[in-house]
């Protein structure tokens, strides 16, 4: 395909802030149509991207070669299934599904249809994650003993919406949201998990899904991951603290790409993924450490990988089977928190 027509389902935060700008900036992709019933959003997608606004996903399939599902979590599986059955390649925002079995069925359907299915695990292209992956590959930390990773915020007053107020049927809560990224990154860095322990709480009034959770993962290698997601962190911990036999790496502050997208920055402009020097992490010990330049983050690489997959048959940027493994861990974490026990997954 010389030009890949992209249809986007959903133009809320995920669709408007992340997917649409990245699609628009990727050579070979054209945002052709967006599903939205909001007249102001419909006007925006036409004015900003020249895309048609349609009211129903069934009207989208004939207008696109690639369907991007950025709608509420509970709709991911039925919409991805419909897109695959319509013969369209599919990108699904995380989480791919509520359960590993649902995700596995989607992977199998895509295989039978010989269509690309991939998942928007954009945090694989955070600069701090890329830096940590490089340091581990170079052996700069020695053998990894423990990965500590956090997505913490201070939001004592709920924002509202299905992510916080919806129950299990909405696939809401921080464990499925930011936790999907933390688990995915831990698996990418340290490999398969054999045991899961979790604590998960609903702390704020009016919230129905977890807003303060902790996961402890034991990897096959013997390394451990300690992961936190919270909306109630009045003082933020380090984004990463990784302890190894030779050194530790400690990094504060979030990757800047999300804030820049929210501010309207163009994702292919120079310096878009650059981390300010004052926020670089440090490598070493308490006796001697040095700053480590953060690798430039690049969410655009995800959609460039999608374009490459569809035009020349290269591997998708995120193997959906990886996401099945991550959902297996998340399901085990939910069970662990409910039953107050360690759950073995391998």
**Roughly what angle, to the nearest 10 degrees, separates helices 320-339 and 100-113?**
170
pTM of the predicted model, to two decimals? 0.96
Query: pLDDT band at residue 168, thresholds of 50, 70 and 90?
Result: confident
Query: pLDDT band at residue 311, thresholds of 50, 70 and 90?
Result: very high
Q: Which CATH class is domain 124-301+328-344?
A: alpha beta
> Which residues are paired to 248 by β-bridges?
243, 284
CB-based burial, 22-53: b 16+ in 10 Å, e otherwise: bbbbbeebbbbbbbbeeeebbebbeeebebbb
Query: pLDDT band at residue 316, thresholds of 50, 70 and 90?
Result: very high
Read off the pLDDT of each residue in 151-168 and give the average, rounded to a whole number.
Answer: 86
Report the percent of the chain where pLDDT is more than 90.
95
pLDDT at 294 over 70: yes
pLDDT at 225 over 80: yes
pLDDT at 1 over 70: no
The span from the CA of 76 to the CA of 124, in Å, is 21
CB-based burial, 211-227: b 16+ in 10 Å, e otherwise: bbbbbbbbbeeebbbbb
The span from the CA of 24 to the CA of 31, in Å, is 6
Read off the pLDDT of each residue in 232-257 and give the average, rounded to a whole number.
Answer: 98
Kindly report, residue by residue over 105-117, the tens digit of the pLDDT: 999 999 999 999 9
Whole-angstrom CA distances from 185 to 150, 178, 284, 311 are: 11, 11, 22, 27
Question: Which of 27-31, 74-78, 205-209, 288-292 bottoms out in mean pLDDT, i.e. has the lowest?
Answer: 205-209
Query: pLDDT band at residue 335, thresholds of 50, 70 and 90?
Result: very high
**Residue 19: closest CA among 64, 82, 74, 56:** 64
Read off the pLDDT of each residue in 9-25 and give the average, rounded to a whole number.
Answer: 97
Q: Walk across the sheet containing 224-230 and list its strands.
A: 289-292, 281-284, 248-251, 240-244, 144-152, 224-230, 212-219, 193-201, 343-344
- SS3 of the chain: the string is CCCEEEEEECCCHHHHHHHHHHHHCCCCEEEEEEECCCHHHHHHHHHHHCCEEECCHHHHHHHCCEEEECCCHHHHHHHHHHHHHCCCEEEEECCCCCCHHHHHHHHHHHHHHCCCEEEECHHHHCHHHHHHHHHHHHCCCCCEEEEEEEEECECCCCCCCHHHHCCHHHCCCCCCCHHHHHHHHHHHHHCCEEEEEEEEECCCCCCCCCCEEEEEEEECCCCEEEEEEECECCCCCCCEEEEECCCEEEECCCCCHHHHHHCCCCCCCCCCCCCCHHHCEEEECCCCEEEECCCCCCCHHHHHHHHHHHHHCCCCCCCHHHHHHHHHHHHHHHHHHHHCCCEECC
- Give the start-to-end residue ranges of the domains of the chain: 4-120, 124-301+328-344
The span from the CA of 318 to the CA of 326, in Å, is 12
Kindly report, residue by residue over 106-148, the tens digit of the pLDDT: 999 999 999 999 999 999 999 999 999 999 999 999 999 999 9
Indicate the average pLDDT of the chain: 96
Architecture in CATH of 4-120: 3-Layer(aba) Sandwich (3.40)
């Amino acid at each position: 395909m010389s030009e890949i027509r992209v249809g986007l389902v959903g133009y809320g935060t995920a669709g408007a802030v992340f997917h649409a700008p990245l699609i628009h900036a990727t050579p070979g992709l054209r945002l052709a149509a967006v599903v939205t019933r909001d007249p102001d959003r419909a006007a925006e997608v036409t004015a900003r991207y020249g895309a048609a606004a349609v009211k129903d996903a069934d009207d989208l399939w004939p207008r696109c070669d690639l369907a991007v599902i950025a709608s509420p979590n509970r709709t991911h599986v039925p919409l991805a299934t419909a897109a695959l059955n319509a013969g369209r390649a599919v990108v699904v925002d995380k989480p791919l599904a509520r359960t590993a079995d649902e995700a596995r069925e989607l992977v199998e359907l895509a295989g039978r249809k010989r269509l690309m299915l991939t998942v928007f695990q954009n945090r694989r292209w955070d600069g701090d994650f890329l830096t940590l992956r490089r340091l581990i590959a170079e052996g700069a930390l020695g053998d990894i003993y423990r990965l500590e990773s956090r997505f913490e915020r201070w939001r004592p007053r709920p924002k509202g919406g299905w992510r916080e107020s919806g129950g299990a049927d909405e696939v809401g809560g921080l464990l499925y949201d930011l936790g999907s990224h933390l688990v995915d990154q831990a698996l990418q860095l340290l490999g398969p998990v054999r045991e899961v322990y979790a604590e998960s709480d609903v702390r704020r009034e009016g919230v129905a899904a977890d807003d303060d959770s902790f996961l402890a993962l034991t990897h096959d290698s013997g390394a451990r991951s300690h992961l936190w997601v919270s909306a109630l962190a009045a003082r933020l911990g380090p984004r990463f603290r990784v302890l190894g036999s030779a050194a530790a790496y400690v990094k504060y502050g979030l990757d800047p790409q999300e804030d820049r997208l929210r501010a309207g920055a163009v994702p292919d402009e120079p310096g878009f993924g650059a981390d300010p020097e004052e926020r670089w992490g440090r490598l070493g010990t308490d006796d001697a450490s040095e700053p480590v330049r953060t690798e430039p983050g690049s969410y655009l690489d995800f959609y460039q990988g999608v374009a490459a997959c569809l035009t020349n048959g290269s591997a998708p940027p995120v193997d959906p089977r990886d996401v099945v493994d991550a959902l297996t861990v998340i399901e085990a974490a939910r069970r662990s928190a409910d039953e107050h026990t360690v759950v073995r997954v391998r």
